[in-house]
Amino acid sequence: MPPERANPPVKLSLPLQYQQDIFTELRVEDELVILARGLGLLRLVTNLLHFYDAAGNNLVLIVGADDRENEWIGEALAEHYAISKTPLARGLKVINTERASVPMREKIYAEGGILSVTSRILVVDLLSKLLDPEKITGMLVLHAEKVVATSLEAFIVRIYRQANKVGFLKAFSDSPEPFTTGFAPLANMMRNLFLRKTSLWPRFHVTVAESLEGHRKAEVIELEVPMNDKMREIQNAVLECVETSISELKKSNTGLDMEEWTLDSALHRNFDVSIRRQLDPIWHRVSFRTRQIVSDLTDLRAILHALLTYDAVSFVKYLDTIVAAHSPPPGSTKHNYSPWLFLDAAHALFQTAKSRVYQGRLTNDMAPSLSTSFSATLQPVLEEQPKWIVLADVLEEIERDTYFNPTPAEESNSVILIMCSDQRTCRQLREYLATMHTQIDSNFDEQMENTDGISEPKASAGIFLRRKLREYLNWKGTVANINKNLSTTPNTPAGKSRDSSAPLNPHQGRPPPNKRRRVRGGGTTALVPARAPNTSVQTEVELPGQVSGLLDEIQPTAAEETQKDEIVIDDLENMEDYYELYDMNDLIMIHPFDGDMDEHILEEVRPRYIIMYEPDAAFIRRVEVYRSSHVGRNVRVYFMYYGGSVEEQRYLSAVRREKDAFTKLIKEKGNMAVTITHDKSAEDPQEQFLRTVNTRIAGGGRLAATSAPPRVVVDVREFRSALPSLLHGNNIIVVPCQLTVGDYVLTPDICVERKSVRDLISSLRNGRLYNQTETMLQHYKTPLLLIEFDQSKSFTFDAFASAVNPGASFFTDYGFSSAGVGTSLPTSSSLANPLNPKSPQHMLVLLMTAFPRLKIIWSSSPYQTAEIFAELKKNNPEPDPIRAVQLGLDIDIGTSSSASAGRGADVMAATGIEHRIFNKLPQDMLSAVPGVTPQALERLILETGNVHEIANMSVEQLDPLVGKEVARKIVGFFRKSVFED
């Protein structure tokens, strides 16, 4: 807490009562603040940071902030400084991988202020004492819901609290749902954060409700847009497919907790992720059908979203891509179709989606009796989205309102702000609004003259959808040509495809249709063509003549030709003709929902009218906060949603989930026990020493005792994993260093190379593991290869074959697709088959045969790895960090760092080169210089700054680095004339 000072009081921007209450609580004590989404969490954080920044004598760290939040906080602190005029405020400084040099970080830490540091850099600096934890005034942790026991943020908080009991610690979160999963989740999270108090602020909190529902409440007009019949039919078909898929999952996985496997939960964004998390431990044992259904649920949820947000033509195109993705490759005879594609509901889905774009008979193979009810040509339908019509009506109403009721003198602009879910919807609305008053018919002007100008043109998306349909048909023709070329056999003569050599009798090689098994109900059904082999599930294909006729019908008219295409790259020619500064009172802005950044939009634009094209609970609250925070800014909000749709159900479900989460948190907070942390530094030193005595001397052992805790040298790149945090939690000193050989050095003789399952497979494939093993054998007596599994997955080698989305294409090349789905390769070529020469088992055997001294350790999780390391270190000497770093470098760090003797000189010397990422191009240039060996190259890049410096050095300056002979060659090369002698 900053001391009392004679400076003028700090000005804060917290106009609402609940914001002031939270700030008052945070000033007094450390706590975890859980705020409902949209109530301005970052505004609270920036005001609190400005309060500490104005003191001028603090070192406050921000942990867990991403780049956008750093930008937000930096701008907010600059604004506070401009308003408060506090002379000691210095703003925000960001330390990330781009500014990661050790001297620069040490200087920034010494200067103090408000610092935002990435977790990986901060944990290394705290362990290496580059930043002394006792000098930190306090720490703010953002996104507290992500601070689990094995996270880097929990590691940082533990180091900070063990060395600094006085500094403040405050954590923030606006996602209450993660705090309600598992056993006593809030208590566990509080233990990870070393906090004792929780402050809960839901939307239904009394103070929050009074602040947002006073006399300055925003005017909200709710517009329930009914879906048309075809959209409702498509939605019901997709929901039927989802329900069938969930029931299939329940049948095949009876031993799992399936209480949440409902249709309502399936609409939630993380449903497929939660199912996959439950299936992960047995993923290698589940059937191929189960894996495919889990993948299908993601596709079906995306189809529901696309139905409400895409236009009709784009929706049909998206369905075509889904069917094409499930089609077998050309020439393959094996199908991997998803089960839902064979349902009647899927057939209705595809047919209804096409009927929204064009209508007519799709094939010529139908029975003659059925042809009378269909047209032989395709006619464009181009059904518009219902929300487009409502949006046009709302804009017309706003225009009338602003004309007949001019805005009084107030702070708001007459800007119309339209908020959407993503950039794609924004582009769609921009195109629609730009062309909605342009009529396709060229005789429109004459018609308007006949009506004496009384009626206004009705908004229409005809031009927009016709352009989309032309693009879709051209795209489909291109895809058909590509498939035709791919399906042509290499031995076929040019211009003659495999289909052209087919027998004249279409039924040759199979029984004719009328000879098949009798179908109950009559013989005409048997005449309907069934799905042919190696074809898509979607059997109806438009004929080329029909497509060309449809294209001729939707050719651009004169009105369409005058429309300017969407500009992707503009050379800014004729800029004065197309660009001008618009008045803020005559502007329509379309913007996607962007989390906390929406507050910036509201503050900068100050709109009078807001149209929420899609529902979002957090943005509604941001509008409430914005309206309640400003007296003279009137806001009218049009809230649009499809009635009876998945969109409405998803919105209500999200609000209910948040409310239930806060209810559970309030209940757990009332019953939660107080966490008391044991301070080991207050123990009797003699008792600590006696606990380290090993009295087991049987079998020739010796009595060992040491008062110092064990130590492990860890490569700085390993801090991406949870193992260093767990080692530190087991009272092992973690020394971060830039290691060339190995990842962990346990003793002077034991070096460990840690590999996750995915990293192991990629290392075996590219040969990197062989080089690493060879280097370990050169420098260490006992090299170990640690294969560490994920604790949430099964501890079995068969799980290798079911890895999802691997970083390399290894699985795809050997029988597995990127979605974890088997390809058409035979099962004998899968990774799980040890007989396959390219399987991990086979490669590991080859590795052990080549390096017999190498030992392999199998670990089921990082927790077990920490226990294995503790056992390996018993009764063994501690490793030397200087030697561990020096191995493989051909450089004596000890002599080069002799001048830095003093505080932690050995550790600082070992960590002094961490995070330095060397440029490859100068190394390639220097390696081409005569006399520069690999050893000389390492010395040059470590001791010099750039090639220019080396080129200007003399023989005497280069002699200590590379020797006199090599120095003469280098100097002679750089001073050699470019002309021939």
Confidence class for position 172, pLDDT limits 50, 70, 90: very high
Does the structure show a pLDDT above 50 at 103?
yes
Expressed in angstroms, the distance from the first to the final Cα of the chain is: 74
Does the structure show a pLDDT above 90 at 35?
yes
Q: For position 497, what pLDDT does the model report?
A: 41
Does the structure show a pLDDT above 50 at 522?
no
Burial 104-125 (b: 16+ CB within 10 A, else e): ebeebbeebbbbbbbbbbbbbb
Does the structure show a pLDDT above 60 at 388?
yes
Q: Which residue has the higher pLDDT, 544 or 455?
A: 544
Give me the domain span that covers residue 67.
Answer: 17-210
Q: Which residue has the higher pLDDT, 917 or 117?
A: 117
Does the structure show a pLDDT above 50 at 598?
yes
Residue 813 belongs to some domain of the structure:
no
Tens of pLDDT, residues 623-633: 988 888 887 78
Residue 317 belongs to some domain of the structure:
no
pLDDT, mean over the chain = 76
Is 823 in contact with 750 (CB distance < 8 Å)? no
Cα–Cα distances (Å) from 720 to 121, 714, 756, in that order, read: 11, 12, 12
CATH of the domain at 934: 1.10.150.20
859/968 same-domain check: no
Residue 521 belongs to some domain of the structure:
no
Confidence class for position 668, pLDDT limits 50, 70, 90: confident
Q: For position 784, what pLDDT does the model report?
A: 92
Residue 639 belongs to some domain of the structure:
no
954/857 same-domain check: no
Q: What is the spatial distance between Cα 559 and Cα 300, in angstroms, rounded to a whole number?
A: 38
Is 598 in contact with 623 (CB distance < 8 Å)? no
Confidence class for position 580, pLDDT limits 50, 70, 90: low
885/931 same-domain check: no
Does the structure show a pLDDT above 70 at 543?
no
Q: What is the spatial distance between Cα 140 and Cα 284, in angstroms, rounded to a whole number?
A: 41
What pTM does this model have?
0.75
Does the structure show a pLDDT above 60 at 906?
no
- The average pLDDT across 882-895 equals 68
Q: Which residue has the higher pLDDT, 368 or 894?
A: 894
Does the structure show a pLDDT above 80 at 447?
no
- The average pLDDT across 275-289 equals 74
% of the chain at pLDDT higher than 90 = 11
Contacts (Cβ under 8 Å, ≥6 apart) of 188: 149, 182
Q: Which residue has the higher pLDDT, 332 or 503?
A: 332
- The average pLDDT across 746-760 equals 89
Q: What is the spatial distance between Cα 362 and Cα 15, in angstroms, rounded to a whole number?
A: 64
Q: For position 211, what pLDDT does the model report?
A: 87
Does the structure show a pLDDT above 50 at 812?
no
Q: For position 834, what pLDDT does the model report?
A: 54
- The average pLDDT across 505-530 equals 39
146/84 same-domain check: yes
Secondary structure class of 172 (helix, strand, coil): strand
CA 103 to mean position of chain CA atoms: 32
Q: Which of 194, 210, 226 is the last residue of a domain?
A: 210
Domains identified in the chain, total number:
3
Q: Which of 769, 386, 344, 889 is nearest to 613 (CA)?
A: 386
Cα–Cα distances (Å) from 16 to 23, 40, 703, in that order, read: 11, 11, 67
Is 932 in contact with 940 (CB distance < 8 Å)? yes
127/36 same-domain check: yes
Confidence class for position 577, pLDDT limits 50, 70, 90: low
DSSP string, 585-634: TS-EEEEE--TTHHHHHHHHH-EEEEEESS--HHHHHHHHHHHHH-TT--
Q: For position 367, what pLDDT does the model report?
A: 38
Does the structure show a pLDDT above 60 at 755?
yes
Does the structure show a pLDDT above 50 at 333?
yes
Does the structure show a pLDDT above 80 at 444?
no
Q: For position 745, what pLDDT does the model report?
A: 92
Cα–Cα distances (Å) from 74 to 15, 92, 658, in that order, read: 21, 5, 30
Confidence class for position 705, pLDDT limits 50, 70, 90: low
134/206 same-domain check: yes
Confidence class for position 291, pLDDT limits 50, 70, 90: confident
Q: Which residue has the higher pLDDT, 914 or 883?
A: 883
- The average pLDDT across 555-577 equals 59
Helical spans, DSSP H, in 177-311: 185-193, 206-212, 229-252, 263-266, 271-279, 288-309
- The average pLDDT across 601-622 equals 89
Q: Which of 210, 225, 242 is the last residue of a domain?
A: 210
Q: Cβ atoms within 10 A of the Cβ of 718, count?
A: 15
Q: Which of 188, 210, 232 is the last residue of a domain?
A: 210
β-bridge mates for residue 785, sequence order: 753, 856
Does the structure show a pLDDT above 50 at 810?
no
% of the chain at pLDDT higher than 70 = 70
At 603, list the tokens. Answer: 């503050």
Residue 50 belongs to some domain of the structure:
yes
855/945 same-domain check: no
961/842 same-domain check: no
Residue 24 belongs to some domain of the structure:
yes
37/185 same-domain check: yes
Is 934 in contact with 948 (CB distance < 8 Å)? no
Q: For position 32, what pLDDT does the model report?
A: 92
What does the H/E/C string look like for 432-479?
HHHHCCCCCCCCHHHHHHHCCCCCCCCCCCHHHHHHHHHHHHHHHHHH
DSSP string, 702-714: --B--SSPPEEEE
844/969 same-domain check: no
Q: Which of 149, 191, 154, 201 is nearest to 25 (CA)?
A: 201
793/878 same-domain check: yes
Q: For position 452, what pLDDT does the model report?
A: 45
Does the structure show a pLDDT above 90 at 262?
no
Among 225-229, 506-510, 618-622, 759-763, which is the least confidently predicted range? 506-510
Q: Cβ atoms within 10 A of the Cβ of 140, count?
A: 23
Give the type of residue at 847.
L
Q: Which of 354, 334, 649 is nearest to 473 (CA)?
A: 354
Residue 672 belongs to some domain of the structure:
no
CATH of the domain at 126: 3.40.50.300
968/851 same-domain check: no
Q: What is the spatial distance between Cα 952 and Cα 975, in angstroms, rounded to a whole number?
A: 9
Residue 694: left (phi > 0), alpha (psi -120 to 50), or beta?
beta
At 825, list the tokens. Answer: 């390769």
- The average pLDDT across 63-82 equals 88
Q: Which of 629, 660, 601 is nearest to 44 (CA)?
A: 629
Give the pairing type, strands 733-737 and 636-643: unpaired
Confidence class for position 682, pLDDT limits 50, 70, 90: low
Residue 906 belongs to some domain of the structure:
no
Cα–Cα distances (Å) from 441 to 382, 552, 560, 709, in that order, read: 16, 16, 10, 85
Does the structure show a pLDDT above 80 at 167?
yes
CATH of the domain at 749: 3.40.50.10130
